[in-house]
């Protein structure tokens, strides 16, 4: 087949300049969005952790009522961890490790920490010690307020 004079054959594909420009645009978008993603992820991790601590508080209150035995939530600031324990049947001043999965030591995700050590006792009649648990993040913190009566727990967000 012969081509008419003055016409070039049509080439399909992209030029090198077009590919380089596209790569530069994608690199700029990634560079701009990465800090936003990190900030959002850290915020979600803080909220998820505070929700899990609040749920463990509710679980401890329910177990104390059902089993008619006091439970204690121990918060360790230095290790950034928390653990639920049960009152020993032999010694009322001693709290022993629970054999269930909720008795293990939970550790906060990296970048989060507790403001101070704390111990909260949950009694068989539904009461608990009043306490404020503060979880600190990089840009904000959350306060878990244990009101002390009938399982009322409130989570409050605070900016640094």
* Chain segment 84-120, per-residue pLDDT in tens: 999 998 888 899 998 888 889 999 999 899 999 999 9
Under 8 Å between Cβ of 103 and 97: yes
* Percent of the chain surpassing pLDDT 70: 92
| Statement: residue 61 has pLDDT above 80 | yes
**β-strand partners of 97:** 85
The domain locations on the chain are: 16-159
Give the total residue count for the chain: 160
**Mean pLDDT score across all residues of the chain:** 88
Nearest partner of 59 among 151, 154, 155, judged by Cα: 151
* Percent of the chain surpassing pLDDT 90: 57
Domain 16-159 classified CATH 3.40.50.11540? Answer: no
| Statement: residue 122 has pLDDT above 80 | yes
């Amino acid at each position: 087949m012969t081509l008419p004079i003055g016409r070039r054959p049509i080439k399909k594909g992209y030029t090198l300049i077009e590919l380089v420009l596209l790569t530069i645009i994608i690199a700029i978008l990634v560079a701009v969005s990465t800090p936003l993603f990190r900030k959002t992820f850290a915020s979600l991790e803080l909220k998820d952790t505070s929700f899990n601590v609040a749920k463990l508080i509710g679980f401890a209150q329910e177990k104390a009522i059902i089993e008619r035995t006091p439970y204690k939530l121990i918060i360790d600031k230095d290790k950034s961890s928390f653990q639920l324990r049960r009152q020993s049947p032999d010694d009322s001043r001693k709290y022993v490790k629970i054999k269930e999965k909720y008795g293990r030591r939970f550790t906060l995700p990296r970048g989060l920490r507790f403001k101070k050590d704390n111990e909260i006792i949950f009694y068989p009649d539904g009461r608990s010690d009043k306490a404020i648990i503060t979880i600190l993040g990089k840009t904000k913190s959350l306060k878990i307020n244990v009101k002390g009566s009938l399982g009322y727990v409130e989570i409050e967000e605070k900016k640094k």
